Each structure stands twice: as C-alpha cells, then as structure tokens.
Chains A and B, each alone.
Chain A
Amino acid sequence: MTLTDQVLSGLSQAISGKPQQLRLALCCLLARGHLLIEDVPGMGKTTLAHALARVTGLDWRRVQFTSDLLPADILGVSIFERTSSTFRFQPGPVFTQLLLADEINRATPRTQSALLEAMEEGQVSVEGESRRLPEPFFVIATRNPVNQSGTFPLPESQLDRFLMRIELGYPDPASERAMLSGQTGRTVLSSLPVLMDDQQLRTLQQQVDQVQASERLLDYLQRLVAATREGDRFVCGLSPRAALALLGAARAWAFLAGRDYVLPEDVQAVFPAVAGHRLQSRAGGSVASLLAEVDVTGSA
C-alpha cells in the first residue's frame, strides 16, 4: 500500500462515502493547486480540511470570511510597539500550510483579492515588505451557493486561481448512518494517524511533476481545451493557464493511480473539477457533453 493510498484510506475514515472527492482533494494538493469547495454548510468541508491537514501532518488555520473582514485580518498587520517604538509584524492566519477560507464569497472583493494574490504568488506584501508563505501552501476555500444576498461573487478571473472546484454533496444513507453512530466524522479526527510530514509531501509533489504525458495525450488535452473555446457551449473558453492546470491535475491523478504516465481517462477524471468553475455554459453546453464529444484518439 503506497503512501498516497494510506492517506486516502485515512481520510475516508473521517469522511466516508466520498472517495472521489477525497481523491480530487488530495490530487489538488499534490498538483500544488488550491481547492474550492462549493456546498451548503454542514456537509463536512471543515472536517475534510481538518482531516487532510492531520494525515499529511500540515499545520492549518481557519478563517471565517465576513463582509467586514479586512485584508489585514488575513495577511497580518504591523503593530506599533510602544515599548520598543518599532512596528512589529503580526502575521495573519494566512501564514500557515493549510488555510481553510470559509464562505469566501462573504468578504468584500478587496479582501478576496488579497487572499487570492497570496495564493497565486506564494508570498504576501504588507507595508511594502514581501514575506514568503510557508511551503507547502494549500488553500481550501468554501463557497455557499445558496442564500446569495449580501455576498460578493468571486470574479471569474479570481476563480481561475483555484485549481479545482468540487462539491461534497449529501452523504449516502450508509455513510450518514455510520456518521450518526459516531464511527466517522469529526469525532474520529483526533484519532487519525499522521502519515507524513511536509518534506514527504514535497517529494510526492516532485514525483508528480515527473509523470509523463505523451504527444497523443497532449493532443487530446489541447483538443479538449480548444473545444471549450468554439461553438456556443460556453461564454468563453479555457485559458492557457487552465490548460496547464488541467495537465498538472491529470498528472497528479495518474500518480494517485500508481502510474508514471497520463491516460486520457485521467484528464477526463479531473476535467469537470478543473474546468467546471472556469466555464460559464451557454446554449445547454455542459462539461460532460464536451467530454463525450471530443474524440480521445483524434482520428477524426
């Protein structure tokens, strides 16, 4: 049993019945991307983040986003020390390895963009001074799709910074029953084993980079991306950055499957999660129908 399999089975103790989402979350972590979870409250988003942090041995923090949250509340602030007559930097919650940003769409665009810039750059600048964020740095943001009043929807350009968007959804009856009986869920979090440290995670991320993508696969991926741009399925197609993200995610997915090469199936597995939030569908176009139509082998 490989390390990643152990991680996955550890996670599934906390959240049962969601192997696909767990796998995607881990895949996102391995591909050095950030994760956006879109779901109603109480579906186990926090538990997922907590469990992920625990089994991977990362330290984690959680920020609840509200409309009066200032950028400084996340990034940190320089406080004047009367005793020393100097400004002292008080790091914000962003200085952690795994950040859970709850209900990110409740904060004002200014605050949102402060976080998103930190995600993109891997560093923050406060008072004109750059400060590196720890490595690895992984953000899980959640978004509440209902009860939109008083929210600030994330601009499309910002959504692009999340590698994946997943939905957890309601658990199946058996899992829910198990949770109710206390066999899974938040209650078992503290008993989860710590399976690796951040050094090992970095090694795994490097191994993911080594996964090979053949010419044919790149062709397919390109066709897929190109297909999002044509026709009137979507308002606008995937960006080149999204294409790179897709490739990275597919590599991580292949790695999780224990392969050192990418298959079209890997691309297809991560495609809805990677492309779903980047594409605004028009004339009844959907990501699923796109996957069904673009030919894998490219003979026609």
Chain B
Amino acid sequence: MLNSLLNKEWLRRKRKTAPAVAPVTRAASFSLVFILVLVCLPLAPLLPAGTWVLVSLVVGWRLILLRARGAHPGKLIRTLLVVVALALVLLHYGTLLGLEAGATTLVSAYTLKLLEMRSRRDALVLSFMGFFVVVTGLLFSQSIAMTGYLLVCLVALVSVLVGLHQPGTQTDIGPALRTGLLLSAQALPLMVILFVLVPRIPPLWAVPHPDNSARTGLSDEMAPGDIARLSQSGELAFRATFTGEVPPPEQRYWRAVVMYWFDGRRWSQGDQKDWQKVGVAEEELISWYPQKPAWAPEQSSANVDYRYDIILEPSGRPWLPVLGPVNTAVQGTGLTRDWRLLSRDNVDLLRQYSMPSSGFQGMDAELPTWLKAASLQLPATGNARARQWAEELASQYGSNTPALVSVVLRHFREQDYYYTLRPPTLSGNTIDAFLFDTRRGFCAHYAGALTFILRAAGIPSRVVAGYQGGEVKEGGVVQVRQFDAHAWVEYWQAGYGWQRVDPTAAVAPERVEQGLEQAVAEEGSFLEGNLFSPVRYRHIDWVNTLRLQYEQLEYQWQRLVLSYDEDAQKDLFKDLFPGKDTLTVLLQLLVITVLLVMVISLIWVTRPWQQKLAPADRYYQQFCQRMKRKGLPRHPGEGPEDYALRIKRERPEWGQKAQEVTELYIRLAYANQEPQSHEATLQQLKRLACI
C-alpha cells in the first residue's frame, strides 16, 4: 500500500519534471533488468571482477528504484560511474579497444543506461543495445547450446519490446511473452530465406578478434610433458570430412608444427633470430598464396589420394592441420618450406578449408644448406650418453640411414620402454635420463629422443607435432580432439627426401592404430583430470549414444549453418543452378521469395476468407452490392421489403428477381422456419443472389 502510494507520488513528481515523456511501466522495467542479466551472462567470463561489482551494484540500485525507494542518480554520480566503469576496463585490459575490452565496455554502458532509464525512448535504446550485446556473445561461441540460449534471448528481447507497449495496468508478463513468441515465430521464415539467399560478402575491414591465447592446443614449442598435458583435454580440435575413402588410422598424421631448435630441454619452431643464425630469409621459409613457391613442384591433379575439408575450431594459432605434406596453398594461407599450411592470421574464428591430399610425400629434391644446418642443430653440450650411443650407431651403419633408424626403433620396442601418460619428471640431461634411466614417456619423449640421436648421428631430422588418428564417424567425418595431439619425427634420406617415422608406434602400436584411450587403457589415466567430459564415459552405452548424437548434431550445425559463407553459398547455388551467375540467381530468388512472403503476409492479415456475416446475410449483401452497381443502392435504413418495392418501381425489369430474393431472404432472416427447409432455401438464395 505504502509502496503504491510512494510510487504514485514518484510518478507525479516525475510528470512534473518531464511532462513530455511516456513513462515505462513497472513490469517493463523489471523485464529490462531481467533481460540485462540474461544477455550479459554469456559474456560473464570476460568481465573483470570490478565490472562485476559495478553491474551488480547498478542492477540492485535499479531494483530498489522500482520499489519506489531511493533517488535517481544525479548527473554527478552518473558521470562518476561512467569514469569508474571505463577505469575498470582500462585497468584490466589496458585498452578500451579490442574485442574483450570492447565487450566489457559495452556491458558497462548497457548497465549504466539501465540506471538512468526514464522514458520509453530510453527503454527502446536499452532493448536495442540488448540485441547488440547478444551478438557480442556470439563472437565467442556459436555452439548449439549458445544458439539455444540466443533464441531465448531474442524471444525475451522481442517480448520486452511488446511489454513496453502493454497498458500500464497490465502487470502479468504472460501476454507480452506469448505475443513475443508469436512474433518471433512469424519472423522465422523470412529470416531463413534471408540467411540462405542474401549474397554473402567477404569481410570489409579488419576487426579485433577474440583472444584465444589461453586455449588448450598445440604450441610452437614442446617440452617433454607438454603433449601429455594436452591429452587431458577432450575438447574438439577440428573435424575433417572426406569425400570418398577415409584413410586408415596409421596414415592419419595431421601435420601442424615442425620443430627444429632444441635447447637441451625444449624443442621449438624457432623465431626470426634462430633462423638468422642459419642465414635464411622469411621468403624462403614460406610462400603466401597466390604466389607459387619456388621449391614446390607442379601439382598433378591426377594423383590425389584423399579429398577432405576441415572445419577448424578457433585455436588462436596460425597452423592449419593437414593430412601429410602438402604442396599447394589456398586463399589466405601460405605454404611453408616444410610442406605445411599456415594461415595469414591466427585462427580466432571457426575456419573452414579444403585440401586434396596428393601422393606427395615431401620429396625434396635437395636439402638447402640452411635447412640442413637447422635440422642438425644441437646444443653444444649435454646428454653425453645419448651422443655416445649415436656416434656408435653412426660408425656402425654409416650412410644406411633406414637401418640406423630401425635399430633405434627396435631398441625402443625390445627394451622395457613404456608408453605412459604419467611420465616421471625429468631434469638435467633429459634425453639421457629418459633413454637410459626412466624409460617411460609419452610421444614427445620418444620423438624428442629419436631426433636427438639422429642428429647426433649426423642425420638431418626434425620433430613434427600435430594430431594423429581421430574418431571416424558417419559420412566420412573424422573428429579430432585435443587428446589426439601427437609428435613424431621426420629425417632426411638422401635421394628420397623427408621420411616420416613414429617412434611411439614402436613402443605402443595401439596408440597409432586405436588411439590414446586404448594405449593407456591399463593405466587408466585417460582424461583422468576431466571428470565431466562425456568422452571419458565412452564405454557407458547410453552416454556414448547421446554424446555421438549430440556431436553429430553439432557437426551438422557447423557444416551447414556456421560455415555457410560466400564460398559455401556459391557452391550450393552452383550445384542447384549450374551454368548461371550465382549473384544473379541469388538476387532473383531473393526478390521472388521476399515478394512471396509479403503477399502471404498480406493475405494473412486481411483474411478475406473470414466471413463476418451469416450466409443468408452475406448472399443478400451480395445482391445489394450488385444492385448498387446497377445504380440502385439500398439505403441503410431501408428494410428488405421496401427495397424490393423500390426496385420494382424504379426498374420494373429487375422487380421480379428482387422480389424473389427478398422473399427468400425474409424467410431465412425473419420468418419462422423449420430447420429442414432452411438449407434448401439458403441454396436457392445463393443461386439467385449470385447469378
């Protein structure tokens, strides 16, 4: 009671101060607060703690205001709040630009706008901002779950727009919500049409992308335990779809990073300084599309083993995993000297690309001196036992490199080496410690050790990191997760080129053939830190079925919707309308379908089929209409009998018919009549009145 009084008093005061604004109803204000929380929630992980406090404070203030207590913030306080909000963003991100900082600024602005909202105009601005904030959330995730959440947000936003126009007495949100849902549903068909048909265009200008640096994934350097840590993650790395045959597991080596530089502990790709040491410029390392690399042979399209395309999850890195060595680049990428594909920018958004995998196995005809130097680089000292063993091997086998390699592999296989996800920690001479003492390790240990031995024996070699294997799904889809990360070795064989060798396969062949889970089955260490990953529960049937179906759905969603860009659009309409210009086809279809939607909507709103009159009246009205066209309209106050008499008087030639129609109509409309003859009379009237 007191509240409502206070509220009235407040309203009166408000009217006095701002007479020309339409006030926002309480229900609408509440829903605006609700919507703010709803749309900002996906951005929650981005917000600095300070901004969190600010948002909660302001929302609380607004709620108190809605209970008609407290005062609206004055100009000074509002200014102060803006300054504080900006300072918080600057403190945390060091900038107001950039995607994360921008999103935080947007959330702060949105919240402060809510606080100072007074008129319906402010409320409209707020709900429009809501649409924008929702989209900001989409830049960070487009998963199916996020899409579902997006739909909820959109319906809520539409309902709020409706709610702003509800009568002030309406406190129930039900009607607004129902209307919002209805309107949203009605908007769907046109939305789908526009989505498919509006010609997609490439980005117009460069924009800041989400920061993916904290993501789990491959990195450009490798210490013995790194990949083991990666293998604790069930996150999706990429999906590849093969048209045609899917290669067997032992051939599914996805190359991503090649590491040359070893500092005694870690292997790394090397930076500019490292490469300058061996005297090589960047142009010789990488060639950007559409430039033809000097080192690549002409591609023969006939010799293609597999065709596939990949949808890569954002990784924050430029590497584009490819199956085996490649010798050609596509748009936006470059081909490296070691036959990998690099993106011009870091992959911060979902990225799709397709690659034919040719029979090309990286047959470098010759080894440049700088590359040879890099491939033989070792620290000056350390790991003496390994070096000694390598020298022994080198003196034994000389230039018979394959024999030397197979001896090392046999050593791994026959001695008691173990493949494990829980390798003991190594320090000091890590290679020696692993090779001769612990003998337990993960792929990185084996790859690193093999490369060290080969180099020490004078054979150019390098560590390759990437993914191996992946789960094969229906329709030629291979799904590769972070725990499929792997490292192996390539060594130089004169006259052949670079030869791939996987020392892990010697220790644990099941890792290559069946995947990581099988390889560490006895140990039980698979995803052990990841209790909630559905992948961990693969062996429980129904969880697995659910997981598989969800993954399938997510995959289809990615393939059909999220990767629907200008290329996908072009491909689709090239297939549907071969031999025609895609843009013309799109525009024509767009105009036709939009017109169609408009016409259907027009018919739907005018509803010509809805009869507003009883049949008898309708037919009689039709008769009157026809008489009107002949120049004898019925006056509103003229009864049917009088009208018939007037027709007869003024136009005797129609008198007869007018009388008949009138008689039938009177019988139907005014007289006592048995129901059985009613229908017959009606039909008679219809015949007479409509001819």
Chain A residues with a Cβ under 8 A of chain B: 212, 214, 216-217, 259-265, 268, 291-297, 299-300
Q: Given A296-B638, A296-B639, 10 other A-B contacts at CB below 8 A?
A: A214-B670, A217-B670, A261-B672, A262-B670, A264-B640, A268-B639, A295-B636, A297-B617, A297-B621, A299-B621
Report chain A residues within 8 Å CB of B672: 212, 260-261
- List residues of chain A with CB within 8 A of the CB of B635: 292
List residues of chain A with CB within 8 A of the CB of B617: 216, 297, 299
Q: A297-B617, A299-B613, A299-B621 are in contact. Are A291 and B670 (CB under 8 A)?
A: no
Q: Taking the nearest CB of chain B, how far is it from the CB of A225, in angstroms?
A: 14
Alpha-carbon distance A297/B617, docked complex (angstroms): 8
By a CB distance below 8 angstroms, the chain B residues around A261 are 670-672
Query: Which single residue of chain B is at the shortest CB-CB distance from A292?
Result: B637
A293 to B638, CA, bound (A): 9
Q: Which of B589-646 contact A (CB under 8 A)?
A: 612-613, 617, 620-621, 635-642
Whole-angstrom distance between the alpha carbons of A262 and B670 in the complex?
A: 7
Name which residue of chain A comes closest to B665, CB basis.
A297
A297 to B613, CA, bound (A): 10
How far does the Cβ of B661 sit from chain A's closest Cβ, in whole Å? 13
Compute how far the CA of A217 lies from the CA of B641 in the bound complex, rounded to whole angstroms: 14
Inter-chain contacts of B638 with A (CB < 8 A): 296
Q: How far is the CA of A268 from the CA of B638 in the complex (A)?
A: 9
By beta carbon, the residue of chain B nearest A268 is: B639
A-B contact pairs, 28 of them (CB 8 A): A212-B671, A212-B672, A214-B671, A216-B617, A216-B669, A217-B670, A260-B671, A260-B672, A261-B671, A263-B639, A263-B640, A263-B666, A264-B639, A264-B640, A265-B639, A265-B641, A268-B639, A268-B642, A291-B637, A292-B635, A292-B636, A293-B637, A294-B637, A295-B636, A296-B637, A297-B621, A299-B617, A300-B636
Give the size of the chain B interface in residues (CB under 8 angstroms). 18
B636 touches A263 (CB 8 A): no
Counting chain B CB atoms within 10 Å of each CB, the highest count among A265, A292, A300 belongs to: A265
B residues near A300, Cβ cutoff 8 Å: 636
Inter-chain contacts of B641 with A (CB < 8 A): 263, 265
What is the CB-to-nearest-CB distance from A279 to chain B, in angstroms, rounded to a whole number? 16
Which B residues contact A (CB, under 8 angstroms)? 612-613, 617, 620-621, 635-642, 666, 669-672
Once the chains bind, are B670 and A297 in contact (CB under 8 Å)? no
Closest to A295 in B: B636
- Residues of the B chain whose Cβ atoms lie less than 8 Å from the Cβ of A295: 636-637
Q: Please state if B640 and A296 are interface contacts (CB–CB under 8 Å).
A: yes
| 9 smallest beta-carbon distances between A and B, as pairs | A264-B639, A265-B639, A295-B636, A292-B637, A261-B671, A214-B670, A212-B672, A291-B637, A261-B670
- Closest A residue to B617 by CB, please name it: A297
CA–CA, A259 and B666, complex, Å: 12
Task: Decide: B670 and A263 in contact? CB cutoff 8 A.
Answer: yes
Looking across the interface, which residue of chain B has its beta carbon closest to that of A297? B617
Residues of B near A299 (CB, < 8 A) are 612-613, 617, 621
B490 to chain A, nearest CB (A): 89
Tell me which of A217, A265, A293 contacts B642 (CB under 8 A). Answer: A265
In this complex, the member of B612, B635, B670 whose beta carbon has the largest number of chain A beta carbons within 10 angstroms is B670
Report how far A247 CA is from B621 CA in the complex, Å: 25
Report A-chain residues with C-beta under 8 Å of the C-beta of B639: 263-265, 268, 296
Chain A residues whose C-beta falls within 8 Å of the C-beta of B636 in the assembled complex: 292-296, 300
Min CB gap B603→A, angstroms = 22
* B670 CB contacts on chain A under 8 angstroms: 214, 216-217, 261-264
Which residues of A have CB within 8 Å of B640? 263-264, 296
**Nearest chain A CB to B465's CB is how many angstroms away?**
82
Chain B: minimal CB distance from A283 (Å): 19
Q: Which of B617, B639, B666 is packed against the most chain A CB atoms within 10 Å?
A: B639
CB distance from B179 to the nearest CB of A (A): 29
Nearest-Cβ distance from residue B85 to partner chain A, whole angstroms: 59
| Most chain B Cβ neighbours within 10 Å, of A212, A261, A297, A300 | A297
Cβ of A212: which chain B residues have Cβ within 8 Å of it? 671-672
Considering the complex, give the chain B residue whose CB is closest to the CB of A214: B670
Complex Cα distance, B642 from A265, in Å, reads 7
Cα–Cα, bound, A297→B619 (Å): 12
- In the complex, what's the smallest C-beta–C-beta distance from B360 to chain A, in angstroms? 82
A265 to B640, CA, bound (A): 8
Bound-state CA distance A15–B638 (Å) is 30
What is the CA–CA distance of A49 and B448 in the complex, to the nearest angstrom? 132
B612 (CB) vs chain A CBs: closest residue: A299
Query: CA separation between A262 and B641, bound complex, in Å?
Result: 12
Minimum Cβ distance to chain B for residue A300 (Å): 8
B409 to chain A, nearest CB (A): 96
CA distance A295 to B635 in the complex (A): 8
* Residue with the greatest number of chain B CB neighbours at <10 A, chosen from A216, A259, A260, A264: A264
> Which residues of A lie under 8 Å from residue B669 when comparing CB positions?
214, 216
Q: Across the two chains, which residue of chain B brings its CB closest to A300?
A: B636
Q: Which of B621, B636, B641 has the most chain A CB atoms inside 10 A of its CB?
A: B636
| Chain A min CB distance to B672 (Å) | 5
Residue of B nearest to A298 (CB): B617
Which residues does chain B contribute within 8 Å of A259, judged by CB atoms? 671
Nearest A residue to B637 via CB reads A292
